[in-house]
Structure 1
Amino acid sequence: MRFDPHLAEIRFGCGLSPTIAPAQSTAQMLAGVAKPDDMAARFPIEPFADFQTRIAQGIEFNQIRRKNRGSDEALAAKKARRVLNKETRIAQVGWLGQHINRWVHTDTPLRERLTLFWADHFTATGKAGLIRRAASPYVETAIRPHITGRFEDMLMSAVLHPLMLHYLDQAHSVGENSAQAARGGKLRGMNENLAREVLELHTLGVHAAYTQTDVRELAELFTGLTHTKFFDLQFRKQFAEPGTETVLERTYGGTKNPHIRDVKAVLHDLARHPATARHIATKLAVHFTGDTPDPALVAALETRFRDTDGDLAQVTAALVEHPAAWAPQLQNVKPAFNFLASACRALALPSGALPQLEERLARRLIVRPMGQMGHFWEKPAGPDGLPEEDAAWISPQGVAARLQWAITVPQQLMDAPPDPRDFVHSALGPHATAATVFAAKAAESRWDGVGLVLASPAFQRT
């Protein structure tokens, strides 16, 4: 395998930058991911524990309103709740800006790519109220710290996170023979969503050899998992289905007092299941190399996953060290966020440009165009996250939105354009085609030339 620094930045990183030198070896790439997380410190995103303070404030304001209906105090609490809602909405847009800033300024871009990949693998978001703004704090707390750890640790961190329990309707799942069900009332039904997605999406994969019985038994084992009103994880024994549960021919539970340790035991086993190794290997290979990855690459990733008990640092090393991952032709189409963020990196967008954007302007220049390209920020269509297939990103509407953004938005984000005759090479490196070089040189204005480079087919692929 011959290492290509330009391809490394485009395929495994955040795109080429005119100011940040690309890594010169796979060892440097991997060492960068292992070092302290400088971008998280420089461009902070609120951790989930801090977001819980917002939730607590909202609960307090609602309690004041209920206890003091019709009073000035209730009116003040209502206004304070509206301010809290607005501040949290603005913060969510600001966190998007921080995600982009990390892409623009990092010298360890593989970390940002891995974070985005795993955040999508464990998609979760809130459904109503303040919690619908919590996806970035969830990723910051449950996903980002684990990208070079064991898959098992990330699996538990994500699946047992209160946002995931909320998103997949687990919080009110009650065993049919539980103490809670015997009392009657509203909370007496079991929900299979979390169990199904853990098997189908998070671990074994949709084509693995599990049955509906496995789904139901796992759902029964998960009963008791919930969260408090402040979104702390909680296991309620009175919700839990009594007795043993059998998942993939292994038996769990059965003790007198149901316990969360039974849930952790099944997650431990699922994380080490051979089908999980195959599923994760395939998904990584597709994401980084193409819709039809080389079988040898998938096999190498699967073997490394199994041999290391899901050590993600070792699995990542197997990915970037495999010859099949370095095919010179750019294949995968960039998803919408990757396109926008890599464009900002190619432009060396100043770090203050995005945080200084007023919320409405940020939505007009970033959030809305991203949606037109097919990615509705932190509003997933389902728990399976974003599509990997290239066809999903090159629809007529999506391509038109990319072209429109490339031509019009960069000049609204920064004052002076780069010279397109230089920009075409700094943004594309050796992948700049003769046609793109000519278009950049012949453009009527500098901004037109920059836009043509960003809209070029080569810039759309990794």
Structure 2
Amino acid sequence: MENTQTYIAAHRFGYGANKKLIKQIDQPKAWLLNQMTTDSVSTELSALSLNWNSRQAIQAMALYRKQKKQEKNVNQMSNESMMMASSETTKKRLNKQSMQVVKLTISHAIESNNPFFWRLVDFFSNHFSVSANGQNMRALAPLLESEAIAPNIAGYFSNMILAVESHPAMLIYLNNEQSIGPNSKAGKRSKGKKGLNENLAREIMELHTLGVGAGYDQADVTELARAITGWGVDGAAKSTAGFMFRKGLHEPGKRDVFGKVYKAAGVEQGRQILKDLALNAKTAEFVSRKLVTHFISDDAPQRIVDEMVKVWLETKGYLPKVLAAMINDPLSWSEQNNKFKTPREFLISTCQACGVKRVRPDFVKSLSILGQQPFSAGSPAGYKDTQEYWAGPRAMMGRIEWAEHVSKFVKRVPTNIANQTLGPLLDERTKLLISRAESKQQAITLFLMSPEFQKR
């Protein structure tokens, strides 16, 4: 039983097992819980070693805009300006750095000994989905994951949501840096030409915290939007990571949100509302159900959700304790695999199982082929998380073709791959199919497309 749970821990909550990882899993539940400690998270982020952050990205974007402006006025450019690098060079550097962040994150997830942590980062990155549309978002989107989400996995949900909603990527994606309080100094000067933008406030309530049908109304959305006016981006990022509160844009006065009046002024007003939303029972229910749906079953067992909500309210949304409630429930350890892997999970688990450290096309292009290009969901709702969305005929053909392609470069013995990856979870029929395969490539492809590998 313990050996089976070892493989379930690696397969369901991580990206699959391998010889090295299995040796480290002495007690499956403890192994998972230990990945959500402050020390473990710090170690993972240090090992990731991105060497690129929002401050650098924003400064590079400022340079890019300056260069574009100068190039439009080429006849007025000084000799000093003529010596500057072109905007196209800066743009290429920006895009290269941004793409490197994505590739490093995926490759690190493949090799990490803490795969549950990276699964959680992936989950919350999709929960707080941003799309890399336009140059600003291409530069900033991947950094929301590494700067606001990953560092807060071992903490309180309230800290994560404060970090996310004040991150330059989210503020720009949902246009909050353009939002101006009608009665603010800037609002009065604009004489109605510029005003309130409710995009971020609406998605905070609908997608990030309470969820649809939680009982809030349009007035609550508007009041939250007013509370976070002035939350914007420091275009120079000289002394900050990019967030800037502009008092002159902030709507003055108290706010009434979801039945509570907030009298605090300035940036603190929005912070207090977000903290309360993070502690709300509706938020606990909404996020807990999404977590169970992601890890355990498309039809989330209500018993697990209820226990997570209870712990959420008792601990004020302390994520390690909330997730422990899911991990400790026997229903989470069924030998039946109920979750169909997303393309990202399929790619990472394939590379881990087969010992593949890089692929051609690269990780990002491969995910695009498989239908889940990073930061390209095209909606704040993110990518879908159910089998119905990922298991259609066209999507499956894409997986088969990709698996056949990758299997050409695998050096390991197919039967060893299958046994080490799934252990007791490997079906006898799959073993037989692998043994009867006409070639090594076919054997690996058959394993990668087997039901027990495709589902976790």
TM-score (norm 1): 0.90
Tell me the residue number matched to 1:129: 135
Distance 1:121 1:347 in 2: 29
Tell me the residue number matched to 1:100: 106
Name the CA shift for 1:409/1:87 in 2 (closer, same or farther; >3 Å): farther
1:210 pairs with 2:216: yes
Distance 1:236 1:187 in 2: 18
User: How far does residue 68 in structure 1 lie from its aligned partner after superposition?
Assistant: 4.9
1:285 pairs with 2:292: yes
Match of 2:178, SS state, is: coil
Which digits, 9 at most, give the CA deviation of each residue in 1:398-440, with x for residues without a partner?
A: 11111111111243xx4x5211122221222222222221221
Answer yes or no: is the 8 Å Cα contact 1:48–1:140 preserved in 2.
Answer: no
Amino acid at match of 1:15: G
User: How far does residue 131 in structure 1 lie from its aligned partner after superposition?
Assistant: 3.5
Distance 1:421 1:233 in 2: 52
Name the CA shift for 1:440/1:96 in 2 (closer, same or farther; >3 Å): farther
- Structural mapping, 1:46-445, within 5 Å: 46-62=52-68, 64-65=70-71, 68-69=74-75, 71=77, 77=84, 80-184=86-190, 188-230=194-236, 232-253=242-263, 258-350=265-357, 353=358, 361=360, 364-411=361-408, 414=409, 416-445=410-439
Answer yes or no: is the 8 Å Cα contact 2:129–2:375 preserved in 1.
Answer: no
Tell me the residue number matched to 1:14: 15
Which digits, 9 at most, give the CA deviation of each residue in 1:84-115, with x for residues without a partner?
A: 22233233333332222222221121111111
Amino acid at match of 2:6: P
Distance 1:145 1:193 in 2: 25
Which digits, 9 at most, give the CA deviation of each residue in 1:335-377, with x for residues without a partner?
A: 1111101101101224xx46xxxxxx5xx34333422332122
Q: Identity of paired residues, percent? A: 27
Answer yes or no: is the 8 Å Cα contact 1:149–1:312 preserved in 2.
Answer: yes
Distance 1:187 1:418 in 2: 65
Amino acid at match of 1:43: L
Distance 1:178 1:442 in 2: 73
Tell me the residue number matched to 1:4: 5
Distance 1:365 1:239 in 2: 44
Tell me the residue number matched to 2:46: 41
RMSD, aligned α-carbons: 2.2
Amino acid at match of 1:252: Y
Distance 1:277 1:58 in 2: 42
Tell me the residue number matched to 1:451: 445
Name the CA shift for 1:404/1:175 in 2 (closer, same or farther; >3 Å): same
Distance 2:135 2:437 in 1: 47
- Worse overlay, 364-373 or 293-302: 364-373
User: How far does residue 75 in structure 1 lie from its aligned partner after superposition?
Assistant: 5.8
- Worse overlay, 8-17 or 222-231: 222-231
Distance 1:44 1:451 in 2: 33
Amino acid at match of 2:425: H
User: How far does residue 80 in structure 1 lie from its aligned partner after superposition?
Assistant: 3.0
Which digits, 9 at most, give the CA deviation of each residue in 1:306-334, with x for residues without a partner?
A: 10000011112111111111111001111
Match of 2:177, SS state, is: coil
Amino acid at match of 2:260: R
Which digits, 9 at most, give the CA deviation of each residue in 1:240-290, with x for residues without a partner?
A: 22222210111124x6xx410111111111111111111111111111111
Answer yes or no: is the 8 Å Cα contact 2:106–2:363 preserved in 1.
Answer: no
Match of 1:134, SS state, is: helix
Amino acid at match of 1:433: D
Distance 2:392 2:83 in 1: 48
Task: Count residues in correspondence.
Answer: 445
Match of 1:102, SS state, is: helix
Distance 2:76 2:444 in 1: 58
Distance 1:398 1:155 in 2: 33
Distance 1:277 1:288 in 2: 16
Name the CA shift for 1:214/1:417 in 2 (closer, same or farther; >3 Å): same
Distance 1:245 1:298 in 2: 32
Amino acid at match of 1:397: R
User: How far does residue 70 in structure 1 lie from its aligned partner after superposition?
Assistant: 6.1
Distance 1:70 1:177 in 2: 40
Distance 1:334 1:460 in 2: 6
Amino acid at match of 2:277: L
Amino acid at match of 1:425: N
Distance 1:49 1:182 in 2: 31
Answer yes or no: is the 8 Å Cα contact 2:284–2:312 preserved in 1.
Answer: yes
Distance 1:292 1:118 in 2: 19
Answer yes or no: is the 8 Å Cα contact 2:131–2:379 preserved in 1.
Answer: no
TM-score (norm 2): 0.91
Which digits, 9 at most, give the CA deviation of each residue in 1:373-405, with x for residues without a partner?
A: 321221122111111121111111111111111
Amino acid at match of 1:455: M
Answer yes or no: is the 8 Å Cα contact 1:43–1:101 preserved in 2.
Answer: no
Distance 1:174 1:441 in 2: 66
Answer yes or no: is the 8 Å Cα contact 1:18–1:346 preserved in 2.
Answer: no
Name the CA shift for 1:375/1:187 in 2 (closer, same or farther; >3 Å): farther
Name the CA shift for 1:366/1:212 in 2 (closer, same or farther; >3 Å): same
User: How far does residue 153 in structure 1 lie from its aligned partner after superposition?
Assistant: 0.3
Amino acid at match of 1:38: T
Answer yes or no: is the 8 Å Cα contact 2:131–2:378 preserved in 1.
Answer: no
Distance 1:47 1:314 in 2: 30
Tell me the residue number matched to 1:30: 33
Unmatched 5+ stretches in structure 2: none
Answer yes or no: is the 8 Å Cα contact 2:17–2:353 preserved in 1.
Answer: yes
